[in-house]
Amino acid sequence: MSTQSYQVIGTRPIRHDGVDKVTGRALYGADIQMAGLLHGAILRSPHAHARIRSINTSKAEALAGVKAVVTAADFPPTGDRIVDLGEGETPLSYIRGNILASGKVLYRGHAVAAVAATSPHIAAEAASLIEVEYEPLPCVLTAPEAMRPGAPLLHEDLKTKEFGQQTDRVSNIAEHFRHSLGDLEKGFAEADIVLEREFHTATVHQGYIEPHNATALWNNDGRLLIWCSTQGAFVVRDTTACILDLPVSQVKVTPMEIGGGFGGKIPVYLEPVAALLSKKTGRPVKIVMSRKEVFEGTGPTPGSFIRIKIGAKRDGRFTAAQADLAYEAGAYPGAMVGAGAMTVFAAYDIPNVTIDGYDVVVNKPSTAAYRAPGATNAAFATETVVDEIAEHLGLDPLDLRLKNAAKEGTRRADGLKYRRIGCVEVLEAMKAHPHYRAPLEGANRGRGVAIGYWFNAGLPSSCTISVNADGSVTLVEGSTDIGGTRTSVAMQAAEVLGIPAGSVHPVVVDTDSVGFTAVTGGSRTTFATGWAAYEAAQDVLRQMKERAAKLWGLEPSAVRFEGGHFRASGHEISFAELAARLAETGGPVVGRATVNPRGVGGSFAGCIVDVEVDPETGKTSILRFTSIQDAGRAIHPSYVEGQMQGGSVQGIGWALNEEYFMGPDGEMRNSSLLDYRMPTALDLPMIDTQIVEVPNPGHPFGVRGVGEANIVPPPAAIANAIYRAVGVRMRRLPMSPPNLMQELWKKS
């Protein structure tokens, strides 16, 4: 496959939705206008933990322009049950509870009530007139605090689960699991050096620029219509239907253009609320979050406490490794600790491993996925310990990693064995990169490296392709396009059909108009929806061969398709020519496919970073940055590079500045984009990229998916670079000026 030459794959066409996005014509969720539109606003809890004694909405209802007020009491009266809405099985009460609190509020920013009014200003004013009487309760904000016996409990009925078994321990630990491989004690006994270190990482937000939004119209025919910004229209449909106790077919979700998601736009927050308001008013209702609501009321990624212990022989060979991972789920169970456990030692072949994971609820917003969720925290810990081992043993940090690198056949502690992976190839590309050997001179400067892994996802995707008489095709898909996937999907169809990428017109449609398609997430869209497009294109070819055969009076099996032409002995017709003759050979051709693919291929990414630390202020500047990642096959290299650059920079922000500054009362003190400091253009150099291609044998074109692994290594690489620059080991994220100064003062 790697020797095959492609016509479309690997080229860099202009994206199909590009012109609309540079002219301002593309319609995002907040851009919806419609006759009779009302505007919603949400009242949120000022307490991190409190019992709701009463809610009085009468003053709000009396304000001119207010059309409706809703609370959790407006949800249908169906009892609690376990549901699976694409996020694992969860009590319905948790899902509803996060959308509108009932009984208790569990974090500051927890939605309590909502208003619909004739303007956003009136709605906001009315929300502030709702009177809620709270009984404040003590709160817990970090995993170690929440795990302590006697800690205030968020859910009085939450019992720790241990591999399917409900224990009778009531606590904030929702789940504990363990992976183990080999004999840990024996492994550590064999080691010449054993290092054990503890790490803390702060809660950070995905930081997409477009706030969440939703517009709902409970139509007079009883159908609920929704327009919103989401990574998965079907997840919104299924979740909203479940919460409102409707059959899924009664809900139609139209995904608008989406202004970034990174995992944070998978959960549903606003849609059921807008729906309830529309039901009460008979009018469409639009709700758009403010930036403060995005920070306080949506899911950031978990803060964590991690303990790592690694043993190695003098020659560098790892003999044993142990990890304890305690991740903060926020208000409801479901931290990304399972993924943390699967990735914490994923880059290495280690014979004896034990990993313990704890999913811990705390009084912070219910966490959501963030680009390789759980993996960045874990790699920060592992990769800095690996760096320290290299230093102690006097080994080159990349040589040490290569010596222990995971390969095809390596068994991870969670039990799974790798198929073909590109860990070694990425490490070798790092070693060979001119950046790694370039001189780095000057005081307080240092270079660091690290590697990270993300396993990627498969999941269902659907696609149809209709052939137009002019030789172009229309491709209908259900994957919202966050970063150019219309094009990376269309290119795979174009490759099969032997036509230019520009002759495929991709459209992303509503849930009535395409088969079920899972979320744009898990780096799965180019892999899985691309695969659906590949299959649908094959279906088109099969039908077109029949048409050619009909024209020539042959059996379809006698027709070949090569180089964009249908051929049989003595006959030849191009795709476009045949497309023009469909009417006379039997009518339209529509290819279709649904896939639920296996063969998902994980991706490794590494980075090399040079930093300079200002020892007076503790500020770290990035001087040079190189990101190297295994794409399997880069369908559109520009957008692969774009993923690598974007993920790297999110990793840099996570490393150096970003954090929820929480007061002891659970209030986020920096809930604006001024104070939650994401990297700007001025904070960064160019981000160099090198795409490694170790084709995934599980995909027709070798695609792995590149959206995530790139965010994993930067915090560790930067920590390692800081150590070489100023001699302190940073074990707390972010490595912000105050945190770094503290370490520098300790050292001196």
Q: Which residues bind ligand FES (CB under 6 A)?
A: 209, 260
State the Cα–Cα distance between residues 699 and 597, nearest whole angstrom.
9
Binding string, 260-289, against other proteins, x = CB under 8 A?
Answer: xxxx--x---------------------x-
Nearest CB to other proteins, comparing residues 419 and 581 = 419
Name beta bridge partners: 359: 175, 327
- The DSSP string of 432-464 is HSHHHHS---STTEEEEEEEEEE------EEEE
* The one among 1, 19, 189, 469 contacting other proteins by CB under 8 A: 19
> Rounded to whole angstroms, what are the CA distances from 556 to 40, 468, 498?
58, 21, 19
* The one among 82, 170, 438, 469 contacting other proteins by CB under 8 A: 82
CB of 673 to ligand FES, least distance (A): 7
Nearest CB to ligand FES, comparing residues 483 and 715 = 483
CA dihedral 637, 640, 646, 649 (to 10 degrees): -90
Please work out, in degrees rounded to the nearest 5, the angle formed at the alpha carbon of residue 509 by the alpha carbons of 504 and 515.
Answer: 95
* The one among 4, 31, 133, 572 contacting other proteins by CB under 8 A: 31
Residues 61-80 that bind other proteins (CB under 8 A): 64-65
Nearest CB to other proteins, comparing residues 164 and 553 = 164
Binding status of residue 681 toward other proteins by CB under 8 A: yes
**Residue 523: which of ligand FES, other proteins, none does it interact with, CB under 5 to 8 A by kind?**
other proteins
Binding status of residue 643 toward other proteins by CB under 8 A: yes
* The one among 6, 10, 11, 18 contacting other proteins by CB under 8 A: 18
Closest-CA residue to 205 (of 529, 534, 650)? 650
Nearest CB to ligand FES, comparing residues 294 and 451 = 294
Q: How many residues does the chain have?
A: 748
CB of 740 to other proteins, least distance (A): 22
* The one among 46, 502, 599, 737 contacting other proteins by CB under 8 A: 599
Binding status of residue 606 toward other proteins by CB under 8 A: no
**Residue 419: which of other proteins, ligand FES, none does it interact with, CB under 5 to 8 A by kind?**
other proteins
Nearest CB to ligand FES, comparing residues 521 and 591 = 521
Binding status of residue 178 toward other proteins by CB under 8 A: yes
Closest-CA residue to 602 (of 707, 713, 483, 449)? 707
Angle, helices 375-393 vs 714-726, to 10°: value is 40
Query: Which residue do the tokens 């899972």 mark?
Result: 518
Query: Which residue do the tokens 């199909």 mark?
Result: 16
State the Cα–Cα distance between residues 388 and 392, nearest whole angstrom.
6
Residues 190-219 that bind other proteins (CB under 8 A): 206-211
CB of 488 to ligand FES, least distance (A): 16
> Rounded to whole angstroms, what are the CA distances from 493 to 7, 142, 234, 345, 599?
12, 48, 23, 37, 19
**Residue 538: which of other proteins, ligand FES, none does it interact with, CB under 5 to 8 A by kind?**
none
Q: Which stretch binds other proteins (CB under 8 A): 423-431, 480-488, 506-514, 572-580?
A: 480-488
SS3 for 60-110, per residue? HHHCCCEEEEEEHHHCCCCCCCEEECCCCEEEHHHHHHHHCCCCEECCCCC
**Residue 519: which of ligand FES, other proteins, none does it interact with, CB under 5 to 8 A by kind?**
other proteins
State the Cα–Cα distance between residues 739 and 326, nearest whole angstrom.
21
Contacts of 308 (CB under 8 A, 6+ apart): 196, 197, 199, 321, 322, 323, 344, 381, 382, 385
Binding string, 321-360, against other proteins, x = CB under 8 A?
Answer: ------------xxxx-xx--x-----------x--x-x-
> Rounded to whole angstroms, what are the CA distances from 284 to 18, 217, 424, 677?
30, 4, 55, 36
- Quick count: other Cβ atoms within 10 Å of Cβ 681? 6
**Residue 214: which of other proteins, ligand FES, none does it interact with, CB under 5 to 8 A by kind?**
none
Nearest CB to ligand FES, comparing residues 34 and 209 = 209
* The one among 678, 737, 741, 742 contacting other proteins by CB under 8 A: 678
Token pair recorded at residue 528: 């899985």
Nearest CB to other proteins, comparing residues 291 and 581 = 291
Answer yes or no: are the C-beta atoms of 529 and 507 closer than 8 Å.
no
CB of 257 to other proteins, least distance (A): 7
- The DSSP string of 651-714 is HHHHHHT----B-TTS-BTT-STTTS----GGG---EEEEEE----TTSTT-----SSGGGSSH
CA dihedral 105, 110, 116, 119 (to 10 degrees): 140
Closest-CA residue to 704 (of 535, 529, 523, 531)? 523
**Residue 700: which of ligand FES, other proteins, none does it interact with, CB under 5 to 8 A by kind?**
none
Q: Which stretch binds other proteins (CB under 8 A): 134-142, 155-163, 275-283, 723-731?
A: 155-163
Token pair recorded at residue 650: 């999110």
Residue 339's Cβ-side half-sphere holds a number of Cα atoms within 13 Å equal to 28
State the Cα–Cα distance between residues 329 and 302, nearest whole angstrom.
6
* The one among 370, 380, 531, 701 contacting other proteins by CB under 8 A: 370
Nearest CB to ligand FES, comparing residues 653 and 698 = 653
Binding status of residue 371 toward other proteins by CB under 8 A: yes
* The one among 144, 282, 642, 737 contacting other proteins by CB under 8 A: 642
Q: Which stretch binds other proteins (CB under 8 A): 99-107, 151-159, 611-619, 635-643?
A: 635-643
Nearest CB to other proteins, comparing residues 363 and 367 = 367
**Residue 87: which of other proteins, ligand FES, none does it interact with, CB under 5 to 8 A by kind?**
other proteins
Residues 240-259 that bind other proteins (CB under 8 A): 257-259
Q: Is 11 exposed, middle or buried (0-12, 13-18, 19+ CB in 10 A)?
A: middle
Nearest CB to ligand FES, comparing residues 74 and 210 = 210
Helices (H) and strands (E) in the chain, counts: 21, 31
Binding status of residue 534 toward other proteins by CB under 8 A: no
The residue nearest ligand FES at its CB is 209
Per-residue buried b or exposed e for 121-139, using 16+ beta carbons within 10 Å of the residue's own CB: ebbbbbbebbebebeebeb
Nearest CB to ligand FES, comparing residues 182 and 260 = 260
Answer yes or no: are the C-beta atoms of 79 and 157 closer than 8 Å.
no
Nearest CB to ligand FES, comparing residues 294 and 449 = 294
Binding status of residue 28 toward other proteins by CB under 8 A: yes
User: What is the enclosing helix (H) or strand (E) of 496?
Assistant: helix 485-497
CB of 399 to other proteins, least distance (A): 29
CB of 700 to ligand FES, least distance (A): 29
User: What is the enclosing helix (H) or strand (E) of 280?
Assistant: helix 271-281
Residues 647-676 that bind other proteins (CB under 8 A): 647-650, 672-674
CB of 371 to ligand FES, least distance (A): 13
